[in-house]
Structure formats: C-alpha cells, structure tokens
Amino acid sequence: MCTLAIDIGGTKVALGLVENGRITERCQFPTPKATSALQFAQQILSHCETWIPYISAVGVSTTGLVSEQGITAINPDTLAFPAPFPLADALKTLTHKPVAMLNDAQAAAWFEYKNLKSPLKNMAFITVSTGVGGGIIINGQLHKGAAGLAGHIGHTSVDMHGPDCGCGQRGCVEVIASGTAIKRASDDVFNPPISNIELFAIAKEEPVADQIIETSAHAIATLCCNLKASLDLEVIVLGGGVGLAAGYIERVRKHIANKPSVFQVSILPAKGDYDACLLGAAFQIKESLWH
C-alpha cells in the first residue's frame, strides 16, 4: 500500500510517497499562505500529481491544533489558519481517498515511540523548528487530551517576565527557543542578517552566536525537566531543524545535567531524523485504517 504523507510546518511543506514505512519519493516547498482549505489542498496536491494514481490513503501531520472541525493555530505567528480550516475534508474531496490528520509533533511522537529500540511506557517528542511542538505518550498511548491540545508544550511558560508569545502568553518556551526566536535574536546582532544554519556554523568562534543557541538549549532543557517532574517520562526524543542541528542535543543534555538529578531525563535524537513528522503522517493513517 502506498501512502501520500503530507507534513505541514510553519516554514515548509514536505510530501512523501511512503511504502512499507519507507519514503520512496520526496519533495518539499515553502508553506503556501493558508487561504481556504480547498485552495491550500489544491496547491499541495499540484506538487505530487504523478503520485496520486499510486496512493490508497493520505496521512497528514500539521502544525496547529487538530480537531474534527479542522486546524486552528495556537500561535498564529508561526502559521495563521483562517478558521475553520477543514483541510482533511478538502483533501478527501480532491483525492477520493481516506484521509487522517494529526498534529505534527503528536504524529512524530507516535512514530518515534513505535520505533524505540527498547520498549518504554512514557515518552515525549519535542520538535524545535519554526515553533516548538510536542507529543506525549502515556502508558504506551498517544495522549491527545480532551480537545487535542495535549503536547503543546512550546506554550508552557518558563519566564513569566519574558517576551510576549503569539499565543497570548508570556515567556513561552517557543518564543525563547524556537528557530524563529533564534533568528529574531540573531537579527538583533548580526548585520547583514545571517541564516540559522550560518549561526550554528560560526558558534564555535563567535561567542554571541554561541550564546543565542545556548539560550534556546537552556529553555528546552528546562522544559524537559518540567516534563520529567509532571509526567515522569523515561525518555524524551528531540527532532526538528534546530533540535537536530550539530551539537544542539549535547547542549540540552549539558543543561539537564546541571539540574537536580530527580528531574533529569535522557534525550535521544529522532530515529526519523528530519522526516520524523513526515513518517509520522504516514504511520498514523495506516494505524487509523487498521483500527
């Protein structure tokens, strides 16, 4: 069975043709502006027209809160979805295939959980990318909560006097640690502006660059210890463009090692690497068809 996997992030959309858990075709493009759900779906499908005859289902992982009604932004600064945004329905109408949709980090969490080397019961996945997303596994089950919000750990505050977050709160992990936050801090000091990739590349020789990345890693480490305290997780898996950037996990581990031992938790890189959310998109549709 071939699945069309769609991963919608705040910066890019990735598409994959997935067969037996392997990505056989892949493409990506900048996230289109979210106008109407039907238009958005049409734009996405225009990038993979030749794959459509081979697919039997569509799996979507997307940034935002996913409910029966569609997608809602928690932080519209990362991607503003006009409400309601019934993307699954639009994709169903256009492809005539079964469609299942999950939040991007929840989908990756479930995929990563099912691919852990040693079986555990309690785990979280954190993506540090355009935003900071999360997915939580409790007692071997993906925990979505009453309305699907569970795992939006990027919007837990680690500094009540911190900067305003697009979600309406202050000092959220996302507004301090995300790729967007790193870029904002970097633009304040580097003229001409540099990309986050360049920032990571110069961090060894440039203390200002190093400090910006440290601030992000420290906030993520604090989040990990908060999660350990609230959920007693056995492991936390890190993903996303920033989360998987060279040296980032080591920085997070170093900050965790400085916290009281009871709150320390092991950190692993995502097995699905940069495609954890895309593989999660394919994985969850397969599961939803079986159950």
Give the nearest distance from C-beta 30 to ligand BMX in angstroms. 12
Q: Which residues contact 7 (CB under 8 A, 6 or more apart)?
A: 13, 14, 15, 16, 60, 61, 62, 104, 275, 277, 278, 280, 281
Interface positions, 98-117, toward Zn ion (CB under 5 A): none
Q: Binding residues for ligand BMX, per CB under 6 A?
A: 9-10, 63-65, 73-75, 78-79, 103-105, 127, 129-133, 152, 154, 174
Give the nearest distance from C-beta 22 to ligand BMX in angstroms. 22
Which does residue 172 touch among Zn ion, ligand BMX, none (CB within 5 to 8 A, set by kind)? Answer: Zn ion
Which does residue 64 touch among Zn ion, ligand BMX, none (CB within 5 to 8 A, set by kind)? Answer: ligand BMX
Give the nearest distance from C-beta 250 to ligand BMX in angstroms. 21
Tell me if 172 contacts Zn ion by CB under 5 A: yes
Give the nearest distance from C-beta 132 to Zn ion in angstroms. 9
Give the nearest distance from C-beta 264 to ligand BMX in angstroms. 25
Tell me if 79 contacts Zn ion by CB under 5 A: no
Taking CB under 5 A as the criterion, the residue among 8, 18, 100, 165 binding Zn ion is: 165
Tell me if 167 contacts Zn ion by CB under 5 A: yes
Q: Which is nearer to ligand BMX, 55 or 101 (CB)?
A: 101
Q: Which is nearer to ligand BMX, 127 or 186 (CB)?
A: 127
Give the nearest distance from C-beta 78 to ligand BMX in angstroms. 5
* CA distances (Å), origin 1, targets 18, 40, 282: 8, 25, 11
**What is the contact surface with Zn ion in residues (CB under 5 A)?**
155, 165, 167, 169, 172
